[in-house]
Amino acid sequence: MTVTTEMKGGEIIARSIQQHGVTTLFSLAGTAHTYLLEALAPLGVEVVSTRHETNCVLAADGYARTSGKVGVALLKNDQGLPNAMTGICTANAACSPVVVLSSLSPSSSIECNGEFTELEMVKPVAKWVRVVPSVERLAEYVAMAFHQAQSGRPGVAVLGVPQEFQGFKTAPPQQELVHPPMRPPAISAEDSAALVERVMQAKRPMILTGGGALASGAGEVLNEIARTFHIPVLGNSLGRGLVPEDNEFGFSWALAQVAAREADLVIAAGIRMTQRLGYGLPPRFAKSAAFVQIDIHAEEIGRNRPIDLGIIADARSALLALEQGLKACGFAGFGSTQWVNDAMVARRARIDELGRDPAADIHPYQIGRALEDMLPRDAVVVGDGADILNWLHGVYFAKAPRGYMDHYPFGSMGVGTGLALGAAAALRDEARAAGKPPRKLVLLTGDGAFGFYCGELHSFEHANLPITIIIANDGAWGTEHHGQLKALGSSYNCLLGKSDYHLVGAAFGFAARKVSDSAELHERIASALANEGRSILNVLTDTDAGRIRKTDPRVQTVAFEDLASSLKTHATPDVA
């Protein structure tokens, strides 16, 4: 006689999660996932508790961006999923592989409340949304969610799980249901030859890299191409640090974009032509420049601008073919990338002279320069806010892959706190596996952005996750404040006051300090970074500093208008 041992649905989900290699996930409270949390505990899967559903998803996003693995978030559907929308939008826009398990209310409530209306709400902003139809198919649907989150263009997979299924018993799956991501498309021989020919005919090619290049693991071949053939690589957001930003071979797009108009060939490798890149159009790029676009997502080819050569392929595959093709042809390369630095001379000179007066109020550049001087090459920096992020782009350079992230491309303020929570958990898991201390993590945020989710500092304390948080506190919504001053001569509803935000950190056990003196800033940042636990600095910066960003294009690293037809109309100067 065969005896089948039945398992609770929560145990089936827990084992499926573990089989997918998850060691840490994120959850808000416990009632909605009682049986799942009970089953996770003996499996050694760590649960980081969050205080807001958006941060629950953002933490899973930050975990994915830092580790390259799937991030997992557990939510309640009816009250929780509406709160999570900003996190889902942010993660999906950033193409982060995230699985959200949303616990649905008991089936008896459907007639009263409608059929899972919150899941209908999330469908337009997530990659994949489904409901488990029966308890017997739990493992199948969890595996499907992981598969969808990782395959093709990664994104957010939301799986609705009827709450009663977690307590129901059923036979366990007969086999391990883990589906590896689909292999991305490789470049064709025809496209490979065309790409090599384009590069050999160019005089000033440049390569732009984004999250797609990172996800493909293109860092090694990008370094080989850059150094062998002297082709500059400009990284944006998650594409930063694939080639260390030494301003010889690797550059930050935000700073070096002024050289883009000098390029006669632009190779966009796993990067979208968004507003931050001027949509790939003049005036950011020369009208005569040829464009090659490499993307695994066919619909992305040609978005916003005509493309001379579109390649539907994994970025690493295409770049390896380029490297091998150029070497096979005996191509000697371009001799130098100096033309990129030549284009930045006026910009870097202007940036270098600002924020140097030790007797003046603290300039945001002083914070960025201190981080550039002090942080190790393998540090992870999370940027948030508007003005402070623009300043940071001018003086801080990413040295390694997955070493920098911000709220791009969705752009919602305040999400840096949740992203940093996930990054901290990922760095802890990495350190445990390697048997060494975690890499340094810094969240640099503005005072406006910090105010959104500052209660999430409790999550760092509760999970004992180390971090250094620096708040650049200019007492205002700085970008809006100076925009109104320029347009109207007055500012309305933009001033916040320089509150004691560091005391929020102190309430949750952070080593907290307010800094208002330029002369002591460097020392205070050094002390905060030396703390192996949790530190927060409330740095009172010059409220007037941001005024120059509205009038001097040399210090603009993110312009908010990029179409030639609207630059003058919207009073945003061209980038110089």
pTM (2 decimals)? Answer: 0.95
What is the per-residue pLDDT across 179-203, written as a single tens digit (0 to 9) for each?
777 788 899 999 999 999 999 999 9
What is the per-residue pLDDT across 88-101, written as a single tens digit (0 to 9) for each?
999 999 999 999 99
Asked if residue 455 is part of any domain, the answer here is yes
Distances (CA, A) of 59 to 171, 188, 318: 33, 38, 32
Q: Based on C-alpha coordinates, what's the Rg of the chain?
A: 24
Can you read off the two tokens belonging to residue 434? 């390697």
Residues β-bridged to residue 311: 294
| Cis ω before 409 (30° cut-off from 0) | yes
Asked if residue 14 is part of any domain, the answer here is yes
Do 65 and 112 share a structural domain?
A: yes
What is the per-residue pLDDT across 266-279, written as a single tens digit (0 to 9) for each?
999 999 999 899 99
Residues β-bridged to residue 445: 471
Percent with pLDDT over 70 in the chain: 94
Do 268 and 403 share a structural domain?
A: no
pLDDT of residue 184: 84
Q: Work out the angle between the directed axes of helices 138-150 and 9-19 (0-180°, nearest 10).
A: 30
Do 330 and 236 share a structural domain?
A: yes
pLDDT of residue 351: 97
Q: Could you tell me the residue range of the domain that residue 271 belongs to?
A: 189-343
What is the per-residue pLDDT across 274-302, written as a single tens digit (0 to 9) for each?
989 999 999 899 999 999 999 999 999 99
Distances (CA, A) of 29 to 54, 75, 152, 519: 13, 9, 32, 44
Asked if residue 561 is part of any domain, the answer here is no
- Is the pLDDT reported for residue 112 higher than 80? no
Can you read off the two tokens belonging to residue 468? 């250094």
Question: Length of the chain in residues, anyone?
Answer: 576
C-beta of residue 319 within 8 angstroms of C-beta of residue 222:
yes
Asked if residue 576 is part of any domain, the answer here is no
Do 480 and 539 share a structural domain?
A: yes
Do 485 and 398 share a structural domain?
A: yes
Do 164 and 74 share a structural domain?
A: yes
Asked if residue 181 is part of any domain, the answer here is no
Asked if residue 573 is part of any domain, the answer here is no
Structural domain count, the chain: 3
Mean of the pLDDT values across residues 515-520? 96
Do 542 and 434 share a structural domain?
A: yes
CATH of the domain at 150: 3.40.50.970
- How crowded is residue 490: how many other Cβ atoms within 10 Å of its Cβ? 8
Do 309 and 202 share a structural domain?
A: yes
